[in-house]
Amino acid sequence: MSQPVLAETANGVLQITLNRPDQLNAFTVEMHEHLRAALYRAAAEDDIRAVLITGAGRGFCAGQDLSERDPDSGDIVDLGKTLRSNYNPLIKSMRALEKPIVGAVNGVAAGAGANFALACDIVVAAESARFIQAFANIGLIPDAGGTFTLSRLVGETRAKALAMTGMPLGAAEAAQWGLIFKCFPDDQLMTEARSLAESLASGATLGMGKAKLAIQAAATNTMDEQLELEAVLQAELGASTDFREGVRAFLEKRPPKFTGK
């Protein structure tokens, strides 16, 4: 049986490919286990400097695999429990990873699949991709961080409209709204996404990881707290090899060779 998640490294990038194309890469419990393992590996291995996440086949991810939910069984599935044991740890581990994550949304991203995509640090999408808060169609609220992320990315008005209507938002409009970074013609997506991920992986990734943490912290910090956090993190980075190399390379008028240390 094929693996539900493929994880391959090349040129400092761990590429994670959701691999249930016939179900548009919908999440199963097994897929969550594999994703957790891949993200654990991304955190643990120094040679992995950036992560690229995409989907196999025509979809990115259709959210929870609804065939794991039986509406006719007498048992009520505790969705709070499935969120706490699968989706919440997934989103938390993506946000905690001090390495850049590029999401390459190759096709439809629906439900938790859309919010999983939006939890990546830099999201690029194929022109034909759509983002759908499909929860509205089955009487749920956006999860996988959606209620936090959506309003911050596109404001409350648009966040509520997406959540309540479940309307598909095309990639070009998603980029105009600021929901994602950029969209590319379908046949160029993976070349562009790989090139972005590899260029990040060869950059000053220690600093990128701290920038990620600081920008995320700004969502809840006061200005004073944020200024202090910047001072703490900058002190740490000022003692890094990458900082010394960056300044030295500038003064010597040559490209820097960063190691992420």
Q: How far apart (Å, rounded) are the C-alpha atoms in residues 196 and 121?
A: 12
Q: How far is the CB of 146 from ligand T3D (least distance, A)?
A: 9
Q: Is 79 in the site for ligand T3D (CB under 6 A)?
A: yes
Contact pick of 143, 180, 201, 206 for ligand T3D (by CB under 6 A)? 143
Contact pick of 140, 154, 172, 213 for ligand T3D (by CB under 6 A)? 140
Q: In angstroms, how far is CA 194 from the centroid of its own chain?
A: 15
Cα four-point dihedral sign 233, 234, 240, 241: positive
* b/e map 134-160, b = 16+ CB within 10 Å: bbbeeebebbbbbbbbbbebbeeebbe
Contact pick of 82, 149, 202, 240 for ligand T3D (by CB under 6 A)? 82
Q: How far is the CB of 234 from ligand T3D (least distance, A)?
A: 38
250: phi then psi, degrees, rounded to nearest 5: -65, -45
Q: Is 138 in the site for ligand T3D (CB under 6 A)?
A: yes
Q: Is 18 in the site for ligand T3D (CB under 6 A)?
A: no
Q: Is 65 in the site for ligand T3D (CB under 6 A)?
A: yes
Q: Answer yes or no: are the C-beta atoms of 204 and 242 closer than 8 Å.
A: yes
Query: Which parts of this chain interact with ligand T3D (CB under 6 A)?
Result: 23-24, 26, 62-67, 69, 79, 82, 108, 110-112, 132, 134-135, 137-138, 140, 143
